[in-house]
Structure 1
Amino acid sequence: MNFFKTFKHDTWVKPYIKQYKGLLISVIILGFLTVFFATGLMFVAGYTIDKAATHPYNILLIYVPIVLTRGFGIGRPVFKYVERLRSHNWVLKVTSDLRTRLYKTLESDASFFNEHHKTGDIMGLLSEDINHLQDLYLRTVFPTVIAYIVAIIASIAMGVFDPAFGLFVLFLCAVEIFLVPLVSVTLESARRERQKALKANLYTKLTDNILGVDDWVISGRQEDFKNLSASTINELDASKKKSKAFRRYRDFVLQFIFALIMIVMIIFTNLHMTNGQEQANFVAAVVLAALQLSDTFVPVSQGFEEWPQYRDSINRLNTVTPVDANLPEQVELKPEDFNGLKLDNVSFEYASDSPILIKNFSQTITKGEKIALLGPSGIGKTTILQLILGDLVPQKGSITVNDLNVQQIQENRSDIFSVLNQNPFLFNTSVMNNVRLGNEDKTDAEVKKALERVGLKDLLDSLPEKYNTSVGENGSRFSGGEQERIALARILLQDAPVVLLDEPTVGLDPITENALLETFFEVLKDKTIIWVTHHLQGVTHVDHVVFVTDEGIEMQGAPKDLYSNNAHFKELYELDQGL
């Protein structure tokens, strides 16, 4: 029931079975031919040995079985090799399509997935679920279908001699490839569920801990970091050992049942194939041929046992669907035409039962204006940036660019907005390649010019590989301030008229922070800047300050005017400056 329910509304497995059905059929045929040639090899070998033992008066009487032995002996590995090639070709085609589809789906609305899925969940989707679908074909679908076909044909072959015996053989085969696997998956299902839950928990923990590894090191709790997931890993390891023990016992039962099939075959052949010398030659041949079926039948239970994790992967992937953005008709806005941005009475909450995060927020930002958003953590400053970008839609009010709703320019918003946050991601490639992400059409000279403008020319010139120096994993080759400068060079190359700065200097020492802010506002002097910050360091660079609290805008104005006329602002500024 669960099997059919899983595939009832599936869009991740069935479409590709239909798309590559020709290749799938060829894999099943080749798999059957591999088994057929293996059994044929043992059959003619047994027959040849028996026939030769009766001392035929002419060698020609066993010439045909000898030739067939060679043919089956050559055919078996050939068909096995071709079947492996075709089956892996099938799997690679399907998983390539699956991965492409998953990446496109995740990329289609990254903000949606950040809201509804943990980072660890997404890591699980990428690393586990697609691999599970790959194993579904290789370890369950192909072996099971081939085993069922072989069992039916073997039973029919035995039924030619004796219909009752054919049914009995079919019954024993059904126990081997259906009943035992069904019992196996039933008994092992709960343990597999627990293993899945432990793995999911590990993904989430490890993702969180690795992202926060600097804080663990700074706090001197390296050992706690190492031991944090130890209990989960130990429990998972113990559970896997129990699963291995269960498989050993199950395989013993399967081999025992298969031995029973062999005994039945021996009894049958001795009762029905010993009426004459010619029939007696088939006795060993039939039993030896049946022995080859063990390698076909036993793997079916393993495939059945793993079905629960395949089912979970299929169900989870079927929840990942492209988000219907419901965007209005798109309008192309050229960067040079940008003249202003307006937030009019904007209110936003993440859920109907949660406190309103932003309430009646209004602001008009003109071209070239520099504005700073300040306020306590969790007050919604970053959320305002997401609303401006169009990643989030306000429940009340509007956000317009040149009198166009921001949702109307989503298809070319990268031409209007660029973003620099506190953790800019740098890929493990050269500095040149990282900066060129801002605009791939720019020349090497323009990339180097951008790096010179952000103050990295002397540093890069002093390195052996200069501009081709690898930044390392997530920028590890460079300091925090240098990483921000590389990201700033990327923004310069993008050349969008509006730059959103989301606390880009957090965690830096005051000297580095001050130097970096000087660079930011110098190289971006012709841009419109909306800067989210948690303190007043460098606030004199902006034209307008907006201080937000949970009650709304507490104060706003030019920094110089606020310092002169607002006692609270003056107090905060002097505290921040250590005056």
Structure 2
Amino acid sequence: MSVSPSFNDNGETYDQLARTHVSLGRVLALFTPYRTRIVLLIALILVASAIAMLSPFLLRAIIDDALPIRNLALLAWLAGGLVGVAALSAALNTVQVILSSKVGQAIMDDLRVRVYAHLQSLSLGFFASTRTGEIQSRIASDIGGLQALVTNTANELARSLSTVVMTGAAMMFLDWRLGLFSLAAVPLTVLISNRVAKLRETITFEQQRRIADMSSAIQESLSVSGIILARTMGRSEHLIRLFKRTSSDVAALEVRSHTAGEWQWSLIYLTLSILPALTLLLGGWLMSTGAAVTIGTLVAMIALQEQLLWPFEQLLQTGRELRTTRALFTRIFEYLDKPVEITEDLDAVTLARDRVQGTVRLENVSFSYDKSRPTVQAISIDIPAGSHVAIVGATGSGKTTLGYLLARLYDVDSGSIRYDGVDVRRLSFQSLTDILGVVTQEPYLLHASVAENLRFAKPEASDEELITAAKVAQIHDMVSALPDGYATLVGERGYRFSGGEKQRLALARTILRNPPVLLLDEATSALDNRTERAMARALATLARDRTTITIAHRLSTVRQADQIIVLDKGCIAERGTHDELMALNGVYARLIQSAG
């Protein structure tokens, strides 16, 4: 399987993305908050490496000094030194592992929270154009892939590097000729390793992209909605084939990420493996020429080479892993670099909730999703405090978009939206959520109990407050009749409840917050006529002390509104009361007639 260049949604290749988003300084900045512990860790590694260097010299003394003269006392001291070095190295290694694990997990926690918090600040447009599975993959799979780097790899890098440097110095001190010969292979092996690492880096990026595809497929097709769609359409086998294709791609890329350049890597292993034999050959030749090389020196040099072999291989492998993790950092930093479009003003206005009147004014509001064709344009509406305004229109007229703008899920392109005279862009986020309560046509319920879903809006709410809100939303009797009452688990996205029941639970959740302004976006679309009439009466009672903005397709719900705004192709076509609009016999009247 060949790997073609990967492109993101903007047509950028992996190399372009990596150069744009990843730098050594940015990666090192992740470690900066823990520099004290990292310095301590490096100090431990250096001490452990220095202590380990004593073993070959003790071994040479045993062979050249203690054994030839059969000095058991000296042998015992030297052997005891080897045991002490091993014990101290083991103890220091344990401390290193514990400390590096704690630092690594703290960095992972910081990065996960940072990405999650940044995503929470992005506009609705980002989530409308991005698969949920893709987002989950970047937080779970990509950041999870970095775990080895920050917990083990960085520790192994420092330990291996210090061991290689000190072992190289010990070789030169032991015999500079044999030392130079032993280190001559280093440049070649580093060059080969770097070529292999570069190849695997590109494969890793493509691999993570396909893992994200697989995650999205699982999230979409194995949800309740996905299962219902697949079975009712008879497409389960088709989805299995698609998943098998994606899974096979992931498996093939996994193999390539571990085996690409393996023949080149085998040259490194071969070079390091035959080095002791070549060293013995060189040492024997030097001894035959009368050079000052002893058997103990040769044995100690071979021991140093053996001691060098593992950390040097580890160093080369770590270098490869660092290159491949660049692909993961690219995907993570790409998300962190997504611009935050909805920001809180530095001098944001905070309105005291008990003093909010609830007046809303839209002044010449225009907005476009793609900046080419306006979705709504030149919208001006005055909504007095305590009034009920309905916004109606055919599908695609811009009703829901206007609701998004009122909730500041998007910012207007021009014009302004004001609450109690304050531009929504000047309001603090907390003030806006205190002022405006929103119930959408697609209510989202958490996989939790009914009570927990309601308390998501007001964690400190009492049971009595839950019941009061549920009664207003006409859902209390149904919940009370359940075996577990308010402790009933609603299931993922509330699939244990009907569409109308979910809408009423979502409405009760918003009512619990008691907002001065209530925005209902098709909030009763899934209700039967009898329940809708009962809720309309309840909402009428509720709306006496608050401003209500209803976005509706079912026009029967807005006949009693103080003002009805009729949208057509993103513009206000008509406005007035139900009777006034019917008398005009225009757009509104045709909507009523088409509704039957």
Query: What TM-score, normalized by structure 2, do the two folds share?
Result: 0.83
Q: CA deviation at 1:298?
A: 2.4
Report if the CA contact (8 A) 1:418-1:500 is conserved: yes
Deviations 1:46-88 (A, max 9, x none): 8758988x47544212112221232233233322221111111
Secondary structure, aligned partner of 1:20: helix
Report if the CA contact (8 A) 2:50-2:166 is conserved: no
Instruction: Report which stretch shifted further, 152-161 or 227-236.
Output: 227-236
Aligned to 2:452: 433
Indicate which of 354, 363, 369 corresponds to 1:344: 363
**Runs of 5+ in structure 2 lacking a partner?**
1-14
Matches within 5 A, 1:534-553: 534-540=553-559, 542-550=561-569, 552-553=571-572
Secondary structure, aligned partner of 1:293: helix
Indicate which of 90, 102, 108 corresponds to 1:95: 108
Secondary structure, aligned partner of 2:30: helix
Report if the CA contact (8 A) 1:50-1:284 is conserved: no
Indicate which of 369, 373, 397 corresponds to 2:391: 373
Distance, in Å, in 1 between the alignment partners of 2:413 and 2:335 is 30
Q: CA deviation at 1:362?
A: 1.8
> Given residue 26 of structure 1, which amino acid in structure 2 is its aligned partner?
L
Distance, in Å, in 2 between the alignment partners of 1:247 and 1:523 is 73
Indicate which of 294, 306, 312 corresponds to 1:297: 312
Secondary structure, aligned partner of 1:555: strand
Aligned to 1:325: 343
Matches within 5 A, 1:126-145: 126-138=139-151, 140-145=153-158
Deviations 1:432-489 (A, max 9, x none): 2221222233323322332343333334334444323333333334333332222222
Q: Describe the shift of the 1:37–1:175 C-alpha distance in structure 2 as closer, same or farther (beyond 3 A).
A: farther
Secondary structure, aligned partner of 1:238: helix
Distance, in Å, in 2 between the alignment partners of 1:547 and 1:185 is 62
Q: Describe the shift of the 1:574–1:133 C-alpha distance in structure 2 as closer, same or farther (beyond 3 A).
A: same
Secondary structure, aligned partner of 1:524: helix
The answer to whether the aligner puts 1:449 opposite 2:468 as a matched pair is yes
Q: CA deviation at 1:163?
A: 3.1
Distance, in Å, in 1 between the alignment partners of 2:280 and 2:206 is 44
Indicate which of 272, 284, 289 corresponds to 1:258: 272
Aligned to 2:255: 241
**Runs of 5+ in structure 1 lacking a partner?**
none
Aligned to 1:61: 74
Deviations 1:287-336 (A, max 9, x none): 23432433322233342451441452364255146558373743333344
Indicate which of 489, 494, 502 corresponds to 2:508: 489
Distance, in Å, in 1 between the alignment partners of 2:530 and 2:167 is 78
Matches within 5 A, 1:534-573: 534-540=553-559, 542-550=561-569, 552-563=571-582, 566=585, 569-573=588-592
Q: CA deviation at 1:398?
A: 2.5
Indicate which of 365, 384, 388 corresponds to 2:402: 384
Aligned to 1:168: 181
Instruction: Report which stretch shifted further, 221-230 or 494-503.
Output: 221-230
Report if the CA contact (8 A) 2:196-2:265 is conserved: no
Report if the CA contact (8 A) 1:370-1:528 is conserved: yes
Distance, in Å, in 2 between the alignment partners of 1:377 and 1:569 is 13
Instruction: Report which stretch shifted further, 408-417 or 376-385.
Output: 376-385
Q: Describe the shift of the 1:271–1:465 C-alpha distance in structure 2 as closer, same or farther (beyond 3 A).
A: farther
Distance, in Å, in 2 between the alignment partners of 1:520 and 1:258 is 82
The answer to whether the aligner puts 1:312 opposite 2:325 as a matched pair is no
The answer to whether the aligner puts 1:395 opposite 2:413 as a matched pair is yes
Q: CA deviation at 1:359?
A: 1.6
Report if the CA contact (8 A) 2:469-2:508 is conserved: yes
Aligned to 2:497: 478
Aligned to 1:280: 295
Aligned to 2:245: 231
Aligned to 1:19: 33
Distance, in Å, in 2 between the alignment partners of 1:259 and 1:188 is 24
Report if the CA contact (8 A) 1:421-1:501 is conserved: yes
Q: CA deviation at 1:10?
A: 6.7
Deviations 1:137-166 (A, max 9, x none): 346543334333322222222222443443
Q: Describe the shift of the 1:44–1:161 C-alpha distance in structure 2 as closer, same or farther (beyond 3 A).
A: closer
Task: Tell me how large the CA RMSD over aligned residues is.
Answer: 3.8
> Given residue 180 of structure 1, which amino acid in structure 2 is its aligned partner?
I
Query: What TM-score, normalized by structure 1, do the two folds share?
Result: 0.85
